[in-house]
Amino acid sequence: MMRTFILGLMSLLSFQLCAQNMDERGYIVTEGEATPNFELFLLNGDTVSNEMLLGKVVVLQFTASWCSVCRKEMPHLESEVWQEFKEDDFILIGIDLKEDEATTRAFVEKIGVTYPIALDIDGSLFDLFAGPKQGVTRNIVIDKKGNIAFLTRLYERVEFEEMISVIKQELKK
């Protein structure tokens, strides 16, 4: 009984600590801080780490086939971000959350995006950036030094245009 009580108390304290460090949009990271270490497994078979991306402006786009907001945003990411900046020191990587490879491939084909897509089958990459049970539609802009430059949540046109402005500024540095 006492062990159950202690475990419950530890879980509650852990949740409260996470909640205290989480912003109103569910992020546990902030602009200006270094990106957590990560490794991505792309659908094309390549593996990419945050260290390999140094020197590039990076957008990590968390998505999922069941996410209607993601489906709305992805064509804009393709045409206004990927096609606009892919020839620069830039990369956009979509990260499909908690879906298998077959589902992800079908989703990408249906949406028609050409930027690289990675799998986050267990959600561990997502958990480096957002708190427990937070929504998936997110873009994380990372500067050439590996620091977080901008964070988006959902697809709102004003914030999307601000993200594009940040990408342009970071590419000039």
Eight-class DSSP state of 128: G
Q: Is 46 exposed, middle or buried (0-12, 13-18, 19+ CB in 10 A)?
A: exposed
Read off the pLDDT of residues 61-103 as tens digits, 9 standing for 90 and up.
999 999 999 999 999 999 999 999 999 999 999 999 999 999 9
pLDDT, tens digit, 9 for 90 and up, residues 17-52:
444 489 888 999 999 999 999 999 999 999 999 999
* CA–CA separation, 115 and 172 (whole Å): 22
Phi, psi of 89 (to 5 degrees): -80, 70
Query: Is 122:46 a contact under the CB 8 Å cutoff?
Result: no
Q: Whole-model pTM? A: 0.87
In angstroms, how far apart are the furthest CA atoms of the chain? 61
Residue (of 38, 20, 32) closest to 141 by Cα position? 32
Give the integer Cα–Cα distance in Å for 147 and 161: 20
- Rounded (to 5) percent helix, strand, coil in the chain: 40, 25, 35
Q: What is the pLDDT of residue 19?
A: 46
Mean pLDDT of the chain: 90
How confident is the model at residue 10, as a pLDDT? 43
1 band by pLDDT with thresholds 50, 70 and 90: low
114 contacts 82 by C-beta, under 8 angstroms: yes
For residue 72, which amino acid is it? K
